[in-house]
Amino acid sequence: MKLKDNLTRDEVFRLKRIRLDTPGLEIRETVIRSYPLKDNGSQLFGYVGEISKKQIPIYNQLYKGLTFDQGDIVGKSGLEEVLEREIRGQDGLQLVQVDAYGRETQTQTPNIYGEQIKDQESVPGYTTVLTIDKSIQEAAYKKFVADGRIGAVVAMRSNGEVLAWVSTPSFNPNEFAAGITPQLWSALVNDANKPLRNKVIQDYFSPGSTFKGYMAATSLQEKVITPSTIINCPGSIHFGKRDYHDSLKGGHGNITVYEALERSSNIFFYKMGIALGIDKMYAYISQFGIGQKNRYRIAS
């Protein structure tokens, strides 16, 4: 039975002194996850914690070939959770004989139920290499913290590689690896600025100009416009019960879809949305996964 985790050095020394007179008392060393960047990027990397009783049957069903038991440490969020299968590895097996006092004895390998039980070596998980650039990640995080910003930023290459992933305010995942206290957990979950929330992908914001590319592709595919169609884009248009304004005061005038994308004209794509209608818009953007919850997993 486990009595205590995360002993201090002084506690270990005291226990070693009394262990001689306390049969069955054993001090075991274990490896815990270490996050050198601490608060920086913690929502991306995630954190680990002890598996719950409710999770054990779910994980044993989800991760075929792996066996989860009470006391196992598993990924709880971020990449730790998403890459659970790839980086977990497999536990080994070591059979130890003890005497009536719980002390280890030196005997031959025992015969249990007529079978010879042999030790099994543990199998390490795969090594995961990210595209995150440490220098860019640290520069982005330091700037956010220095400015007291609450929000998120992502830096990417044109090929989709993520160089930096920052969400603030943040938390230190090392606190979870060592066993988080109820007081700290309460402070994190009750923080109005939601440090546990990955603001890059979990908060809801208007998609802004990133949505214009989808609108352009849909409008061209549905032949609402052609590449050479000219659309007049004034400073604002009235739709429903309110006025909608362009990105340029006074508007962009007569422009094509290429110019609308280049100048980020709001009015051009408002007009495309009205011409398409909500059903056609959704039929196309849903093919890109917008409005859906997706889980991506790296194949091993």
The answer to whether residue 79 sits within a structural domain is no
For residue 276, tell me if it sits in a domain. Answer: yes
Q: How many structural domains does the chain have?
A: 1
CA torsion, points 216, 288, 134, 142, in degrees to nearest 10? 70
Q: Tens-of-pLDDT digits for all 300 residues of the chain?
A: 677 777 777 887 888 777 777 767 777 777 788 999 999 999 999 999 989 999 999 999 888 888 898 888 999 999 999 999 899 888 777 777 766 666 666 665 555 555 566 777 888 889 999 999 999 999 999 999 998 889 999 999 988 899 999 999 999 999 998 788 899 999 999 999 999 999 998 877 677 788 999 999 999 999 999 999 999 999 999 999 999 999 899 999 999 999 999 999 999 999 999 999 999 999 998 888 777 765 444 433
Is position 108 within any domain? Answer: no
- Specify the DSSP class assigned to residue 287: G
Please indicate, yes or no, if residue 217 is contained in any of the structural domains.
yes
Longest dimension (CA), the chain: 92
93 is a domain residue: no
How far the first Cα of the chain sits from its last, in Å, is 36
Does 271 fall in a domain? yes
Which contiguous run of DSSP H or E holds residue 156? strand 151-156
d(CA 46, CA 67): 22
The residue range of the domain holding 282 is 208-288
Q: Cis (ω within 30 of 0) for the bond into 169? A: yes
Cα separation, 56 vs 239, in Å, equals: 53
**Domain membership flag for residue 260:** yes
CATH of the domain at 265: 3.40.710.10
